[in-house]
Amino acid sequence: MSEIWEDKILAGCLRDLDNIERCREANIERTHFRDGIFRVIYEFALRYSKEERELLTSDALQMKLRRAGQNPDKYLTSYSRLLSTTCSKGEFSSALSQMKEQRILREVEDAVENTISRIEKKEPAEEIAKDFRRKALEVGRSSGVSYSEEGYIRDSTDDRFREIEEKQLNPHLSEGLLSPWTKFNQATNGLGDAELVVMIADPGQGKTTWMLSYAEEACTKYGKHGVFFSYEMPKKRLELRVDTRVVNRLFPDRGITYRKIKDGRLTSDELKCYKEALDYQKSLEGSLYVVDDPSMTVPDIQAKLEQLKDQQKVDFAVIDYIGLLPGAAEGWNIVNALTAQLYVIGRETKVPIITAAQRNPEGNVGLSYLIKAHGSLILQLLQTEDQRVLNEIEQDFIKAREGPRVRWSCITNFDCMAIEDLQDIAIGEEDETETSS
């Protein structure tokens, strides 16, 4: 009486499915695979081994099929032919590996051939490039390019202890991506890999300024490398806003506003300061890379991030902002789904992602349940009418997965593209008074 392990059935299917010659040798028609015959056999074998605690035999298979009301003849024929092949566990692993490699190459070949065909048809180059990038990402996913980590916790205890020891000797190693705000950094110790930060605000409250403040300071002060996906404004305008922040940090008393830089209304002294700010940016170790393409979908963002990571260092990504992503205008359900996708991108690329969303029509984030679920850190900008007159605004943590929830006041200066801690400004004034006295 013949016996067969379930892994032998599966290995035979995998091995023979893409090997016409072996199928012919075993007298197996490729229609068996299309009809799912071997799949049924595999499922029966697996179920039988679990229920009966023994291997599936041809007699047992026949009995099971009849009880299920199925004609066993075509299954038994395929079963007996499959028995004529041999498969060790080494061959099983090899078959899996070969199948994976063949499938990857076949999918890549199909993508390339399709792209060449579209080029020959003289289709728009940008559309071809976008579709090819999207297909490349799909091939990577389907080929089992895994972003996951797995294993027993006990197996990595020594590694974890060494990491703690190293952090004690070098405390800066424990810091994540630091922000311009003291309370923020005290509560989070900076953003870690794969964290998703979503800032909620009303229109005109400073979403872009907030994100730009974070990104620019991370690059110019801490030497980080970031990617800024700009959906709200062209790259040129974003660059001028960065210039405004830098020149005002270097020359805080000159009052060089964004409007002056944008319109070119600078005095000779201001122009000299601006040139020094530009030279300063050239000398920095960190850098902010801007992607200005409002048609990019979330898969496009991931493909771009992975491409840039292959070419350069990427410490964080900013997406300005969720509500401007393609499809977001269809409603909050789409915004929720897009947030979930951004969360997955952060996990897979291991890059912190900073983004923002408009407050929903009810004036809160109650409907945005997926934003609250997927964000590692959710905060909102709050401003009363009195605070608006005083150029004050509050940052309030709604959710902090890795630390305490905090709330603190800031001062806004949108002319200089700045949102700064009130406490920091007060301390600076006190120091200046003490020095003068």
pLDDT value, residue 273 = 92
pLDDT in tens, the chain (437 residues): 233 344 444 445 444 444 444 444 444 454 444 455 666 666 666 666 666 655 566 777 778 778 777 777 767 776 666 555 545 545 545 554 565 666 677 778 888 888 898 898 888 888 888 888 777 777 766 665 555 566 778 777 888 888 888 878 887 766 788 888 888 888 888 888 888 888 888 888 888 999 999 999 889 888 899 999 999 889 999 999 999 999 998 898 888 899 999 898 889 999 999 999 999 988 888 788 999 888 888 888 888 888 888 788 899 999 988 888 888 877 777 777 888 888 888 888 888 999 988 876 554 544 455 567 777 888 888 888 888 888 888 888 888 877 788 888 888 888 888 888 886 443 333 343 333 33
pLDDT value, residue 83 = 55
Residues in Cβ contact with 312 at an 8 Å cutoff, skipping those fewer than 6 apart? 225, 289
The 3-state secondary structure of the chain, one letter per residue: CCEECHHHHHHHHHHHHCCHHHHHHCCCCCHHHHCCHHHHHHHHHHHHHHHHCCCEEHHHHHHHHHHCCCCCHHHHHHHHHHHCCCCCHHHHHHHHHHHHHHHHHHHHHHHHHHHHHHHHCCCCHHHHHHHHHHHHHHHHHHCCCCCCCCCCHHHHHHHHHHHHHHHHHCHHHHCCECCCCHHHHHHHCCECCCCEEEEEECCCCCHHHHHHHHHHHHHHCCCCEEEEEECCCCHHHHHHHHHHHHHHHHCCCCCCCHHHHHHCCCCHHHHHHHHHHHHHHHHCCCEEEEECCCCCCHHHHHHHHHHHHHHCCCCEEEEECHHHCCCHHHCHHHHHHHHHHHHHHHHHHCCCEEEEEECCCCCCCCCCHHHHHHCCEEEEEECCHHHHHCCEEEEEEEEECCCCCCEEEEEEEHHHCEEEEHHHHHHHHHHHHHHHC
Q: CA–CA separation, 346 vs 377, rounded Å?
A: 13
Q: How crowded is residue 94: how many other Cβ atoms within 10 Å of its Cβ?
A: 15
Q: Indicate the length of the chain as a whole number.
A: 437
pLDDT value, residue 354 = 92
pLDDT value, residue 374 = 77
pLDDT value, residue 145 = 57
pLDDT value, residue 49 = 60
pLDDT value, residue 142 = 63
pLDDT value, residue 287 = 86
β-strand partners of 255: none
Apex 306 CA angle, 200 and 190, nearest 5? 45
What's the predicted TM-score (pTM) here? 0.63
Tell me the backbone φ, ψ of residue 318, rounded to 5 degrees: -120, 135
